[in-house]
Chains A and B, each alone.
Chain A
Amino acid sequence: MINTMNKLNLANGCIEMVHGSGGRAMQRLIEELFLAAFDNPILRELSDQASFDLPAGRVVMATDSHVISPLFFNGGDIGSLSIHGTINDVVMSGAQPYYLSAGFILEEGFALSKLKKIVDSMAAAARDAGVPIVTGDTKVVEKGKGDGVFINTTGVGVVTSDIELSAKKIRPGCSVLLSGSIGDHGVAILSQRENLSFETTLCSDSQPLHRLVRAMIEQVPDIVAMRDPTRGGLATTLNEMAAQSGTGIIIDEKAIPIKAPVKAACEFLGLDPLYVANEGKLVAFCPPEKAERLLEVMQSQPEGKEAAIIGEVGEDRNHFVQMKTLFGGHRMVDWLTGEQLPRIC
């Protein structure tokens, strides 16, 4: 008989097709693993939906699917990342995050011990951010049709003030601020990929930014736009902002914080750190006269202590992002073509 009657074997068991069949095995997985870790009154209802009230204001919603390899990396795992990523997408609007959902696609044969580690890490990240997971879903796919685990999370938040952040509000003259060093996440992940592992003590920067954002919004409500430079890195985010606002952006290479291990790894892999992913950084645009104050506020928060003013917005009908190089010249920082591939020599 299939393992449906026994307690979930979290130490040595693995995901079986029955865990997604809607029967007792699935119930057990939900109760003994997900509910036990995420426990909160709304989730405990175990309904098909979560029901809650929100404070008055503009509701903000964001969703993100996580398919990262490797699942565990220096500074985090797919679980904590799936919480931080979505919270950050919600808070870039200036919202306070309230609730999360979590959907799992599990591959047959995936070790329950690993899944527990991931789920516990999600629970800890959600608790730390004070944003409960209130509804969820689990599906199981046959062995070979997934990559261990895929996680989708959706977040809901509310903007209670009359603040309305938008790239469209960026004007020539605006200052560009960055909350910390770039490329940490991407390089940490690359260093642990099977086919090109190299040794580094570098950790992913995966972290929630709601505290930092709240301080920024409260102290400097004149911020016009914010975004987290995840996939495609700082360069891609700046190009999006320039295109959407119809401006040009000039950044100063000297001002952009990059950790030595990131520089070194990018150097020998032939990558440009401007295009490497981050998971706990933000870029903010504000009127120039508020830049110093905003910088001070950012640096006073743990998530922004290395914040810097990295450039300014100008007029440019081509919507180019340009960089003043350390070397004293100028160059374009273009959109990425396909994925960044290592160079031969």
Chain B
Amino acid sequence: MNVDRESLVARQVAEIIIGYVDFLEIPDEDIVNPDNAMQMMEYLAAQLEGLEKGFLRQLVDAFYAIADESTGETREAVRNIPHGFYLEEALAADDPVRLAELEAIRDARD
């Protein structure tokens, strides 16, 4: 699979995940049971962390690209997906320097 095609697939998967997360975060408890939603979100997080690193990189970049094309709350919500699911940390799992840097960024941000 060439890079362009890989990026295209990553973007499509990112859009699926955005829709999935958007649904799970519906605040109305009569529509989505919040505890079940959390279990599905934890499942998603584990699945994303387990992706092949090259594809995960493409996926994270796709989230950022989609966020840049969006506006308002959607922009922030999409941009926050890699942050909320610790995807950059998953990519840097073997790089302690990068992990320390990410931790500092996270501390500053939170």
Q: Do A and B bind each other?
A: no
